[in-house]
Structure 1
Amino acid sequence: MFYDNLVDACARNKCKVTPVVLECGGAKGSIANWKKGSAPNSDIVVKLAVRLNVTTDFLLRGIQNDTAFLSDDQKQLLMYYNSVDELARARISERAETLAEQQAEERAREQAKRQEIRRSVPEESAPCESIEIPFFELPVSAGLGVDLLAQDGAQETISVPATPTTRRADFSVLVEGDSMEPMFSDGDIVLVEQEQEVPEGQVGIFAVNGAGYIKKAGRRCLISANDKYDDIPISPDDSVRCFGLVIGKL
């Protein structure tokens, strides 16, 4: 029993039995006897208890005093707690609980930040597949309109990531002006699926009397997303051509 308790106390203090026993004036032969169940003399028990910061009751009978393994600071705090009345103890407990909750919240926030940082670090992945789509350099107007028909056949290609949207696109066009903000801004490159008609309310690429536009299709008009621009009316005498449906932007 004594030897097992001695081993436990040494483990708690991160030290080995033999050096501690020799340091306290014991002999190696005594250790062998303790392993067999022999009882130690009181002098060595006291020295070992002081050296290992435990009580003699713990070494002899395994009875652990609540303060046997407290640090000096912890013992001092306990002394302060025991020296005050019940009202003061309640205040100490309340304050300690508040501090513990604050510490727990801080640790939770730090853990959340670390997880967010880990999520924000991009994982290594295979190179993204790209495709080539036609690109009209002359911009279609999101404002006053430019001559798009004159650009038929005059185009280059651009390389874009292969996605379901870009695979649908038949060509791309540069946007000029702000009449379609906030949907599309000046300088955006929009993806267009070639269609002869665009459903009402959808955005398309149109040419009216030779001027190119990116607008919403309306009933006998083309509509800007930006309220500061008037609709473009369409009469039976106008030459109107639909180039396609805008399905996204790069």
Structure 2
Amino acid sequence: MSTLGDRIKLVREQKGLLQSQLASLIGVKSSGVISNWEKGINKPDADKIVKLCEVLDISVSYLLNYHGKSQLELDPLEKKLIEKFRRLDVNEKKVVDSILDSILVLSEEKKKNLLSEATNSVNEKLIMYTYAQHMAYAGEGFYFDDLSTDLIEAPEYPGADFVIGVNGDSMEPTYSDGDNVYIKKTCELNYGEVGLFVMDNSAYIKEYTKEGLVSHNKSYPLIAGRDDIRIIGKVLGKVSKKAKIIRK
């Protein structure tokens, strides 16, 4: 059974909103508040529940999973699917029904593969991002904004400003050597977010915490007690393997 946090996350993602965007729309101070709701660490109060329902276009009964004794509540995606289904003619409806029956008898592994293929092929808009291939830099007078860059054609990621390559294994298993990641330019991060930082004229990807900069690979030490660290941006996620690098 889904939790309150599960339902907030489900509808937020269906709306294409980041946690930070939802936080701004409902008037909470940071994406960390939304993250805590979705993880079940705490719950929104009555006022925020009303705001959530207004912004996400859902009913309170759906969000709280209370429908009385007989009412069936549909989530936004289910409503959209029903609206589309009703526009089909009789034969088209039979085809859709047959496809759904076929999907239901597939193994879980085959369902995952089918979903992955469909996700990659539907509504994936490719756009150009500035691309810095290497993470580590050295030398005097280094400034991140002065980097020599190429272009990369990659699936659009809301909020991303550029793409950068990952060197080394310090952030495994989250990010591995050779991965490319989307970066949103910012000079502020919330605790628990992964960011792009500059120190000693080199650029690093680390998790930002109250204690310092943390590597996900536990063999790397905590980076703390330094006043020369500069936040460049927030890591939004990985770029798919189908991205194409274009040399300038």
TM-score by length of structure 2 reads 0.45
Indicate the structure (1 or 2) with the bigger Cα radius of gyration.
Answer: 1
TM-score by length of structure 1 reads 0.44
